[in-house]
Amino acid sequence: MTSPVLSVSNLNTSFLVDGKWMDVVRDVSFDIGAKETVAVVGESGSGKSVTALSIMRLLSENNARLKGEINFGGQNLLDISQQDMQKVRGNRIGMIFQEPMTSLNPVLKIGKQITEVLVRHRGMTQATARAEAIRLLDKVRIPAARSRLDEYPLSFSGGMRQRVVIAIALACSPQLLIADEPTTALDVTIQAQILELIKVLQEEEGMSVLFITHDMGVVAEISDRTVVMYRGEAVETGTTQEIFQHAKHPYTRALLSAVPKLGSMAGTVQPKRFPIVDMKTGEAASVADTADTVEHDKTPILEVKNLVTRFDIKSGFFGRVSGRVHAVENVSFDLREGETLSLVGESGCGKSTTGRSIMRLTEAKSGSITVGGKDVRHAGKSSLLDIRKHMQMIFQDPFESLNPRMRVGEAIAEPIVTHGLAARGEVRKRVADLLTRVGLSPSMADRFPHEFSGGQRQRVCIARALALEPRFIVADESVSALDVSVKAQVINLMLDLQERFKLAYLFISHDMAVVERISHRVAVMYLGEIVEIGSRASVFENPQHPYTKKLMEAVPVPDPARRQIRRISNDEIRSPVRAPDFVAPVRKYDEVSAGHFVQVQ
């Protein structure tokens, strides 16, 4: 390797917390060579983002302390003044962040946000900077670049915003690009576009890339070398190939075993638990096989027929309907006891609205929903209360779905009390029992949500949902916000509960690999419609609809040997907003194999 572009040695970062200095990054060292991509991978709290921010010196100097050496272009970045550092940032090192929706200033035009960098670092005039900005937008493959300069961020989709952010970061042709989880907030097909774009631009510009991510699939897809971080330390560094094939550190092995791999379920019929690897020894505990839980002979617990949910968009003086969101369009499926049916699709496909319509958190427009033989859509207040005992919901964000001022014990007890399911004296015992069931200790009932980690909070949410002994649970992106190892544990818990109580899940997710692991059946949704539905094995092993195929191809494979070559498409996530006079076309379905239906185009 020629002399490295960036060389981090013995980086120590500590934060001032309640008057004490806490080490967040300890003795981290790595090099990035010319034109090389290095990934720093780890779970939340591993210090990977702090490492990136330390290199850029973006941490507040009042409560963050940096030690060690960061050599870049012949100088130690930790020694130079803030003024000199400003000349490095955005100029010789570009950086992009996770949230494209908030990285751009909402009240400044796109053009201005690009040109200000050029004016600052290149001393360009407004006119030349504008011309350069057009070139940059072309470079990140934004169609009709010239006309978009005077638009505000709000008229760009998430993926397009991330491209603008990349254009800004690359405006001054930096030697190094630091990308901090740049695709985490994006849909999987858009993620594929952005990853490909970064690869192509790296080639064109001849720059090095430092890629921060939690996603092993993305690591395998993009990086030459990988640094694995765990609790502030770089536990393993090596070529990506080595890390994936011969990981030495137990944590790396644990991380890799928890990563759901798309296609790893080929040949199995039942859902499969994740092997839980001991973080210290790296030994995987053996996984119990999952029993067949589906009650094929009984009538389904949930039947949805021709469900339609639309939202009117009103505008003008008289509140005229100017358009309609066709969120759910003619959706039918059923769910049996002990079965997991997954609804997959990208943002705006109507998967969450379907779940909410079933729970009657959103009113459907037409169609029928039957739970345990009872009509949900026309149920009155008291009978709805009754039906709701049978169906519960777990949401995506465990931080927002628990009341921060309520002890978790009270939160779990609330539905029991509301429905009068236990005598006053017994409630505490029930809560303790529920906490044990989800793998928490009963003594935790007196704690507040902020005292729990994300994974524990999601367990509390599951306990709360289980309080009513429901027959099925709508899990809306319930594991999406969790770290891989925690995600694996929560999924294992869900499978345990399914086996014990014959629970059925309507599992709503965008994550194909997790869906493959947990489902009995899968329904793929696109623009409010189900385009393909069938058993997990048939949909994953024999996908028929082009959208299903596209979705699966976009999933990054956590295997560096199987890198795919893709072209950068400019497909955007399409919007289900239609004109008010739009009539949804009648769809026909082909039965490819038993129970596997595909929409005919």
Residues in the site for another protein, rule: CB under 8 A?
56, 58, 86-91, 94-97, 99, 102-108, 116-117, 120-121, 152, 154, 165, 168-169, 315-317, 322
C-beta closer to another protein: residue 90 or 543: 90
Identity of the residue numbered 437: R
241-264 per-residue burial string, b: 16 or more CB within 10 A, e: under 16: eebbeebebbbbbbbbbbbbbbee
Instruction: Find where tokens 């040997």 sit.
Output: 561
Number of helices (H), then strands (E), in the chain: 20, 23
CA-closest candidate to residue 525, choices 545, 540, 541, 542 = 545
d(CA 229, CA 26): 10
Please state the closest distance from residue 155 (CB atom) to another protein, in A: 8
Q: Which two tokens stand for residue 349?
A: 């496909």
d(CA 457, CA 529): 33
Please state the closest distance from residue 163 (CB atom) to another protein, in A: 14
Please state the closest distance from residue 113 (CB atom) to another protein, in A: 8
Q: Give the chain's largest Cα–Cα span.
A: 76
d(CA 598, CA 524): 10
C-beta closer to another protein: residue 15 or 152: 152
C-beta closer to another protein: residue 54 or 189: 54
Please state the closest distance from residue 484 (CB atom) to another protein, in A: 24
C-beta closer to another protein: residue 117 or 522: 117
d(CA 449, CA 387): 28
C-beta closer to another protein: residue 91 or 241: 91
C-beta closer to another protein: residue 173 or 315: 315
C-beta closer to another protein: residue 58 or 421: 58
C-beta closer to another protein: residue 102 or 570: 102
Please state the closest distance from residue 222 (CB atom) to another protein, in A: 20
Please state the closest distance from residue 52 (CB atom) to another protein, in A: 10
Please state the closest distance from residue 146 (CB atom) to another protein, in A: 19
Please state the closest distance from residue 582 (CB atom) to another protein, in A: 18
Q: To the nearest 5 percent, what fractions of the chain are helix, strand and coil?
A: 35, 25, 40
C-beta closer to another protein: residue 208 or 538: 208
Which uninterrupted H or E stretch holds 161? helix 158-169
Please state the closest distance from residue 362 (CB atom) to another protein, in A: 24
C-beta closer to another protein: residue 44 or 264: 44
Please state the closest distance from residue 53 (CB atom) to another protein, in A: 8
291: how many CB neighbours lie within 10 A of its CB? 11
CA-closest candidate to residue 14, choices 3, 24, 4, 29 = 24
d(CA 14, CA 26): 8
Q: Which two tokens stand for residue 399?
A: 């931080």
Please state the closest distance from residue 104 (CB atom) to another protein, in A: 6
d(CA 589, CA 120): 58
Q: Which CB contacts under 8 angstroms, 24+ apart, belong to 115-120?
A: 117/90, 117/168, 117/171, 117/172, 118/171, 118/172, 120/90
C-beta closer to another protein: residue 100 or 271: 100
Q: Phi and psi for 7 in degrees, rounded to 5?
A: -135, 115
Please state the closest distance from residue 239 (CB atom) to another protein, in A: 28
CA distances from 179 to 60, 95, 185, 195, 583 (A): 20, 6, 13, 11, 44
C-beta closer to another protein: residue 89 or 351: 89
Residues in contact with 270: Cβ distance below 8 Å, sequence separation at least 6, in sequence order: 289, 290, 291, 292, 520
d(CA 385, CA 377): 13
